Structure formats: C-alpha cells, structure tokens
C-alpha cells in the first residue's frame, strides 16, 4: 500500500472544498485580487493538491520563524523550506488588504481564480537571515538567494487557503498527476513498494541503471517524477526533458516504472531541499526515495567552491529517516566501465579499472558543436531529442550587433554583411537598422536615456526571437549605453550567438559623412541630447570586433565578421 502522508493525513484541499466550490467562485469575484508569480503558482498548486501536506496555506510568521530556525512547524512536524506568499506592501495598501481580509489568488497565465486566502499574518523578514538559515550562505551566486534579494517582494502574507479551481495545464496533461491520483495508480497497479526518483535534467543510461539498481535492491517499482515547475536557471526546458523521459520509459522492464510530472518550484537548497523532496514523495505515496550525489545542489559559490558537500544532502535526509518514514536510497555517482560494458557506483570500482564519463559541461559542448555522443552514455532516441532542441552551431541562429555614432558607417557595414550572409545561404537573414526600428516599433519614443534603453530593449527582443528561430540577425542602432547593450547580449545569448561590433569611426569623420546635417543642427543647439555632441556615447567594454571605416574598407570589416562566425562554427562546412 502507498506510504502514509506526512503528518498522517493527505491535505487535499480540492477534495475538502469541493462541496462549496461554486460558493467560493462567486465570493472570489467580489474580493480583492492578487495575481501570483510563477513560483507562487507552483507552490499554490502543491499546497492545494496535498503535495505539501501537512500545509493548508502559506506560512504565517510563527510558522515561518519556526521553519527557518528549527526546520519544523510550530507543532513539531518536520518541514524544512519556507513556503510564503510575498507581496508588495504598496499593493496590499492599495487593495486595502490587512489581517482578517479574504483575498482571491489568480493564475498569471489566464486570470482564473485558483484559491481564496484568509490573511492571518503579515510580516517582513531579514532576507540575509533567511539566506543563511535556509541556503547556508548569504551569497547571490546561489540562484535562490539571488531570487530572494532581487525578486521577492517586501511583505510576506500567510494564512489558510480554500481551493476554488485547479491550475489549467495544456502540456502533458495525462502524466500530470496529483498525490491522490498517484496513490490511486499505485493501488490499481498493486504497487506496494515504490522508489521515487527526482530529476531536473535529461535522463541517460546511468540514470536508468541507477533507478533499476534501486528497484532491485529494495524489491520495488520505480516512480520517475521529474520537476516541470521552476528549476535552475539555464536548465534544459521541460518540454525537451519530458520528451526524453517518455523516450527512456520503454527501456525499463514492462511494468517496472511509471512517469509522473511534478509542478515544483525548486530552490536548489541542497540538504534542506533533499528533506523537502523526501516529504513531497512521501505525500505522493512513495515508500523509498533516491538521494544522489549533490542532490539539489546549485553549483559553485562566489568564491568558486561548491555550496554543499557532495553527500551533505544524503546525510541530512538519513538523519531524519525515522521521522520521515520514507526509506532513503543513497547512491554514489555511477561511472561506465568499458571493459565490461556496465555502470557501477564509483566507490565500488576496483582500483585500476578503466572508467569513462561525460560531464554535463562536456555534453553541452558536444550538443553545441555536433560532436558525437556515444551509445554507452545515452540512448540514440534521447540524443536525437536533445539534438533537435540543441542544434549544432551551423543550425543555430546568431545576432551581429553593430553599435556606433550616427553616420559611423554601421548601416553600410550591416547592409554589406546582409549580402554576404545571403550569399552564404543556410538561414534567413534579417536586418534591423536603427532608423527602421525607430519608425516601425518605437515611433512614440523620444531620446532620453530611459527611452533609448526601451528602444534598444525592443531591438534585443526581436533579435533574440529571430536568433531562437535559427535566423541570422544584423542590428545596427546607435545603442550608446553599456547596460542596455549588455541586456541585449543576455537576451540573445540564451538562444544562439551574439557578436558585438563597435564601429569606432571618429566623431570628426562621422560629422563629415553626415549628409543629413543633423550633427550641425546639434552643434548649433537646434537638437538637444544628440549622441556624441551633448549626450554621451559609452564605448563598449569588451566588443568582439572594433572597426573604423576611415582605416579599414567595409568589405574587409565584413570579412572579419565572417571569420568570427566561421571560427565559432555558425557558418562554413566543417
């Protein structure tokens, strides 16, 4: 039979409040409304469906303080992660929300009312204390600490929830199961011993071997329960990952494993998070839980050291295993032994035995460059899915961002580069000239720093979308400020290549080249805030190329850009 929920009872608020759902729906329309963030949406769903049992709402101050200091709720129940609703104080004041208020919580995607919160607690916290207590360091190299300081609002609101509607998902609906549904599935399949496996990464042969070993050791079935809420920034998107999981499921013996998705917002909290994950899997009915090396680890801190020890998470979960009442299955990292064609925990490998491994960094490099990925590491079906989502460089998009003063020659370079790339073929080429963007997308904007940054931000958005679609994008705005250019680089680099070209033609030459006469009008005071005359142009700090049309022919500048693209594999046949 399925494991007993944490705290003894599955707090399924949908089932509890089903009889009054219609009444709550009507009431919600007259209540003040808060629209949830993406993280809050994930948290709310797991509170409402019982995944966070014994919680029945967002933490109050008393509960928060107890969890932060003692890893327990006030009644002594083990609970390691603070689950709170953070809101701007100004927003609460605008809505007239205070202790005793009832508030409708809405889905940010479709504005549907999901729950009603009765506010019993409003409080502010010391974020540094929370960072140290929960994540072990006040260091914004940790993604959850960065989120805490940069995205969390100033007031935490706690209190009980009443369920109105479940969030509507449109992806992989058949394998998005609540704790009650997973427990029903176990009963239908006659599963009495279940090992749960948590992952936020694609699965390969080693993961399949690890889970089968765990099942064999514990005479159990396997629940593959990957996170599809929020994971570590930079992780592979969940659509790609779920396709990988679906491809790997037939590799298990028939009837051994089931796949079910978890809408969790991970915090990458290492040891505390591992205990939290064990509690969640217990609520879903699992009797065993795999805790691997560096479970829920965020990587390196600002000093270049790991935030947590490799087996620190295992140690904390094992410390509370009796109280958790879920058996922990600790595992060392598995490594491949080519001489015997098998995987083995690294601590069991005989001394002197040849081993092979491919790190996550090396895998990403091979995907980007198109280098081969051996079958001993992953299944061909999995590799094919990953390559579709991570095409090699010659199939990826890129942006060449030319910045410089008006009449510096950047537009001429951009047009010549467009011709060269069209001649090369292989991808569509789009040209975003500064004047075109001003006319088509930013005609309402002036030339203050804020308005210039908005304009450059719009160029960055379009460039990032074109790059994501595999196109070549050439942008040629003035873009005078470093911070705005850096934001564009950050946007574009998520999807492909980004090359910053500083067209550093001297101001005197730009004035001479200016046939429109705008420089002279700026010098005469007719135009205010003109870049290079009475407004600053910040030279790029680390451009990929510096060009000056008074010293180098446009054809040569274009050739040098082409060489950069060829060097990195975006063009040319390797």
User: pLDDT tens string for the chain (574 positions)?
Assistant: 789 999 999 999 999 999 999 999 999 999 999 999 999 999 999 999 999 999 999 999 999 999 999 999 999 999 999 999 999 999 999 999 999 999 999 999 999 999 999 999 999 999 999 999 999 999 999 999 999 999 999 999 999 999 999 999 999 999 999 999 999 999 999 999 999 999 999 999 999 999 999 999 999 999 999 999 999 888 889 999 999 999 999 999 999 999 999 999 999 999 999 999 999 999 999 999 999 888 999 999 999 999 999 999 999 999 999 999 999 998 878 999 999 999 999 889 999 999 999 988 899 888 877 889 999 999 999 999 999 988 888 889 999 999 999 999 999 999 999 999 999 988 999 999 988 888 888 889 888 999 999 999 999 999 999 999 999 999 999 999 999 999 999 999 988 999 999 999 999 999 999 989 999 999 989 989 899 999 999 999 999 999 999 999 999 999 999 999 999 989 987 6
The pLDDT, as a whole number, for residue 2 is 84
The pLDDT, as a whole number, for residue 335 is 93
Kind and range of the H or E element at 332? Answer: none
Asked if residue 405 lies in contact with residue 572, where contact means CB atoms within 8 angstroms, the answer is no
Candidates 33, 138, 201, 390; catalytic one: 201
**Helices and strands of the chain, counted as H and E runs:** 22, 19
- Catalytic residue status for 201: yes
Q: Report the C-alpha dihedral over residues 207, 211, 214, 215, rounded to 10 degrees.
A: -160
The pLDDT, as a whole number, for residue 28 is 97
What b/e sequence results for 254-263 when a residue is b if at least 16 CB atoms lie within 10 Å of its CB, and e otherwise?
Answer: eeebbbbbbb
The pLDDT, as a whole number, for residue 574 is 61
Candidates 155, 199, 211, 505; catalytic one: 199
- Catalytic residue status for 199: yes
Asked if residue 373 lies in contact with residue 364, where contact means CB atoms within 8 angstroms, the answer is no
Candidates 39, 177, 200, 241; catalytic one: 200
Asked if residue 49 lies in contact with residue 5, where contact means CB atoms within 8 angstroms, the answer is no
Cα–Cα distance for residue pair 574/563, rounded to 1 Å: 14
């Amino acid at each position: 039979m399925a494991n007993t929920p944490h705290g003894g009872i599955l707090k399924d608020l949908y089932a509890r409040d089903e009889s009054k759902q219609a009444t709550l729906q009507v009431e919600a329309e007259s209540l003040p409304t808060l629209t949830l963030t993406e993280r809050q949406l994930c948290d709310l769903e797991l509170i409402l469906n019982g995944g966070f049992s014994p919680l029945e709402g967002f933490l109050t101050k008393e509960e928060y303080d107890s969890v932060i200091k003692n890893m327990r709720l006030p009644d002594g129940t083990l609970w390691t992660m603070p689950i709170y609703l953070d809101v701007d104080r100004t927003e609460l004041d605008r809505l007239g929300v205070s202790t005793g208020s009832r508030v409708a919580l809405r889905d940010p995607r479709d504005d549907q009312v999901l729950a009603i919160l009765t506010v019993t607690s409003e409080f502010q916290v010391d974020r540094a204390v929370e960072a140290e207590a929960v994540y072990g360091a006040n260091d914004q190299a940790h993604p959850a600490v960065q989120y805490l300081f940069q995205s969390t609002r100033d007031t935490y609101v706690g209190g009980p929830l009443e369920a109105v509607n479940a969030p509507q998902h449109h992806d992989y609906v058949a394998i998005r199961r609540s704790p009650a549904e997973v427990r029903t599935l176990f009963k239908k399949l006659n599963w009495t011993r279940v090992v749960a496996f948590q992952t936020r990464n694609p699965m390969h042969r080693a993961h399949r071997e690890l889970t089968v070993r765990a099942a064999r050791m514990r005479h159990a079935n396997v629940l593959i329960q990957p996170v599809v809420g929020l994971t570590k920034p930079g992780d592979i998107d969940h659509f790609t990952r779920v396709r990988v999981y679906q491809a790997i499921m037939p590799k298990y013996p028939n009837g051994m494993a089931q796949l079910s998705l978890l809408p969790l917002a991970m915090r990458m909290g290492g040891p505390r998070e591992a205990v939290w994950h064990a509690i969640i899997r217990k609520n879903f009915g699992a009797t065993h839980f795999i805790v691997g090396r560096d479970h829920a680890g965020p990587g390196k801190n600002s000093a270049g050291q790991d935030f947590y020890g490799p087996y620190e998470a295992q140690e904390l979960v094992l410390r509370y295993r009796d109280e958790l009442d879920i058996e922990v299955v600790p595992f060392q990292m598995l490594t491949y032994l080519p001489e015997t064609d098998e995987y083995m925990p690294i601590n069991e490998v005989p001394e002197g035995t040849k081993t092979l491994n491919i790190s996550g960094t090396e895998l990403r490099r091979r995907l980007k460059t198109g280098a081969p990925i051996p079958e001993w590491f992953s299944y061909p079906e999995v590799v094919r899915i990953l390559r579709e989502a991570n095409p090699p460089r010659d199939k990826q998009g890129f942006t060449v961002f030319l910045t410089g003063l008006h009449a510096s020659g950047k537009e001429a370079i951009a047009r010549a580069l467009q011709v060269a790339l069209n001649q090369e073929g292989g991808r569509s080429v789009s040209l975003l000239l500064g004047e075109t963007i001003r006319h088509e997308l930013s005609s309402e904007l002036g030339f203050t720093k804020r308005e210039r940054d908005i304009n450059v931000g719009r160029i960055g958005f379009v460039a990032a979308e074109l790059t994501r679609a595999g196109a070549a994008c050439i942008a040629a705005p003035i873009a005078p400020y470093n911070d705005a250019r850096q934001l564009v680089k950050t946007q574009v680099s998520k999807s492909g290549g980004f090359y910053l070209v500083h067209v550093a033609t001297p101001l005197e030459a730009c004035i001479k080249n200016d046939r429109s006469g705008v420089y002279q009008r700026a010098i005469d005071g007719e135009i205010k805030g003109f870049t290079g005359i009475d407004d600053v142009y910040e030279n790029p700090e680390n451009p990929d190329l510096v060009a000056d049309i008074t010293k180098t022919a446009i054809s040569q500048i274009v050739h040098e850009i082409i060489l950069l693209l060829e060097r990195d594999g975006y063009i040319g046949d390797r």
